[in-house]
Structure 1
Amino acid sequence: MTGQIRPLRFGVVAPITTDMPTWRDQLRGLADSGLSTVLMPDVPQWQPAPGPALAVAATITDLRVGTWVYASPVRPAWITAWEAHSLSVLTDGRFEMGIGTGRPGIADQLRELGLPLTPESQRWSQVRDVVTALRDLDGPDLHTPVAMAVRGPKAQALAAELADTVTFVMPQIETRAATTQRVQDFDNRRGAELALHVPVVGDSVAAFMAAPDTDPAAVRAADSLAFLPSDPAAAAEEIQRRREEIGFSYFVFGADAAGALAPVVAELAGR
């Protein structure tokens, strides 16, 4: 990591898990909260496609919108890049492309969809192809921010080269010390923004951000950074600690936790 201290910002993963009017009302409730970004997962079986959903979201609020995250094996690289570039244009530059190689079990999903089973060793080449095509489409006058969800050395090397934002894919019961070491080992000489995916807030597990059988007590007991307390004062203290000690400045949690953490966002966003 670098010594750069970035201002704090906050994103919410807001999947469409109810009817459309309820989802629209949820987004309107987020509009003036101090949040940075409304984020959409990429899970074909469970909800509408992220691109159209984010285009609608961008008309409901003035917040930034983004994918959290595109699964690279699910669609051809150029199509992903075209959609991302188009979202940047349609939102006047408010779109952020999150991308990774897919959730655990992506091979089963590809079989169900009748798509090629890209070997895991080749999936980061697909991500590179997406970013390369996106930069060509953006041209010299537009830069769509790219967030990469990374795990192993190959993924981290690509993110160190190309990503604007990096989030680390880690076991939800990984200890604070192990995550800290993971970040310290990352070659961040370019000063990419470091994002933390936080699926557990208090006793709640965010939809689409963790497995349904996730045990909040076990995550909390592990001193895992996948957990934040629901008490606003404790959460604010913990967020600032994670930035000062590790370098995380972008915190992503579920939309259902936005109410509990609203005082935190209001106090810390942009600081």
Structure 2
Amino acid sequence: MTEREFRFGVVAGNAPSGAEWAATARRAEELGFDTLLVPDTLQTFAPFPALAAAAAATSTLHVGSYVLSAANRSPGLVAWETSTLQQVSDGRFELGLGGGRPDAAEDAATLGGDFGTPSDRLQRVASTIAAVRKLENAPPVMIAASRPRMLRLAAAQADIVALGLPPQTLEPELARTVSQLRDAAGERFDQLELHLNVAAVAATVDAIPSWLSRMVGGDPRDMAWNGGIAFLVGSAERIADLLCRRREEFDVSYIGVNALFMEQFAEVIKVLRG
């Protein structure tokens, strides 16, 4: 397999004002990030308008959903929104889709949707992809996957696969997940870009803020100390070496970083891009 170039995304979902949201997007672009990614939760901005605003404030930064919960929108609505955002962003949109986080059922109920069974949500993701692929200006599609059925769908239909593993996941489980994806994709595996999310970047484990527990569902320092893949600890050079090894061993070349740590990670980008 030809080694892919690294890509880097900032995962952000809120700002106190429109001006500060635009400033976040511009800062991500200045720091060398490739994409700005917005989650799909009722605690964050609605993805499509927030991404449109970010695209309007920048010139090269791509924008993407990370990831739309399948239960929250019909396939036709997603296709309509996608077509518009692709046009107003001059082709800089990347559509991320998934079956929904474990607690996404409450969001779906609030929005009047039916969360449904895992099979229902898998079918909704597949139907949404089919609707979007019919567009003349269809964007790249990211599918968030970690379990066998969604991995098989991603292997067959995604351009980008977001490996939806918990932050405390260790590298052996990452290896098993990538192996399952590789087996399902066959020759198509080389076409897939693999994405992994980073919850925190810090010089030492003790420098990881304890309040991050609200986001990761446990003690982030314990997770980092035990080798959780969502935590990057050490100097920029050490982290760059780690990411290069993971790219070589696991084919992960697209790194998404919590926006609260984008300044710290920018030093890693400098090392990797030399």
TM-score under structure 1 length normalisation: 0.90
CA 206–259 in structure 1, closer or farther in 2 if over 3 Å, else same: farther
Runs of 4+ more than 6 Å apart? none
Contact 1:199 1:206 in 2 (8 A): no
State the shift of 1:116 in Å: 1.9
Q: Which residue of 2 aligns with 1:197?
A: 197
Q: Which residue of 2 aligns with 1:28?
A: 26
Contact 2:115 2:121 in 1 (8 A): no
State the shift of 1:175 in Å: 1.3
Contact 1:11 1:38 in 2 (8 A): yes
Q: Which residue of 1 aligns with 2:205?
A: none
Q: Which residue of 2 aligns with 1:58?
A: 55
Unpaired stretches in structure 1, ≥5 consecutive residues: none
Contact 2:21 2:54 in 1 (8 A): no
Q: Which residue of 1 aligns with 2:174?
A: 179
Q: Which residue of 2 aligns with 1:251?
A: 255
CA 206–5 in structure 1, closer or farther in 2 if over 3 Å, else same: farther
Q: Which residue of 2 aligns with 1:69?
A: 67
Superposition pairs of residues 113-128 of structure 1, within 5 angstroms: 113-128=111-126
Q: Which residue of 2 aligns with 1:161?
A: 156
State the shift of 1:154 in Å: 1.0
Q: Which residue of 2 aligns with 1:152?
A: 147
Q: Which residue of 2 aligns with 1:267?
A: 271
1:216 paired to 2:211: no
2-structure distance, mates of 1:143, 1:91: 13
Q: Spell out, residue by residue over 1:129-169, the C-alpha distance to the aligned partner (whole angstroms, 9 max, x if none).
A: 1110001123xxx3410011012111011101110000111
What SS does the aligned partner of 2:82 have?
Answer: helix
Contact 1:230 1:261 in 2 (8 A): no
One-letter amino acid of the counterpart of residue 246, structure 2: R
1-structure distance, mates of 2:244, 2:162: 17
CA 217–184 in structure 1, closer or farther in 2 if over 3 Å, else same: same
Q: Spell out, residue by residue over 1:190-240, the C-alpha distance to the aligned partner (whole angstroms, 9 max, x if none).
A: 120011111122214898x97354322122122121111253122111111
2-structure distance, mates of 1:60, 1:214: 35
1-structure distance, mates of 2:260, 2:65: 18
The alignment-based identity, stated in percent, is: 33
Number of matched residues? Answer: 263
2-structure distance, mates of 1:184, 1:74: 31
Q: Which residue of 2 aligns with 1:46?
A: 43
Q: Spell out, residue by residue over 1:163-191, the C-alpha distance to the aligned partner (whole angstroms, 9 max, x if none).
A: 00001112222211121121122134312
Unpaired stretches in structure 2, ≥5 consecutive residues: 203-207
Of 188-197 and 144-153, the range deviating more from structure 2:
188-197
Contact 1:96 1:146 in 2 (8 A): yes
Q: Could you say which structure has the greater relative contact order, defined with CA pairs below 8 angstroms and 6 or more residues apart?
A: 1
Higher helix share: 2
CA 210–70 in structure 1, closer or farther in 2 if over 3 Å, else same: farther
Q: 2:241 aligns with which of 233, 237, 242?
A: 237
What SS does the aligned partner of 2:257 have?
Answer: strand
1-structure distance, mates of 2:138, 2:209: 36
1-structure distance, mates of 2:199, 2:116: 28
Superposition pairs of residues 97-116 of structure 1, within 5 angstroms: 97-116=95-114
Contact 1:88 1:95 in 2 (8 A): yes
Contact 2:237 2:271 in 1 (8 A): no
Q: Which residue of 2 aligns with 1:78?
A: 76
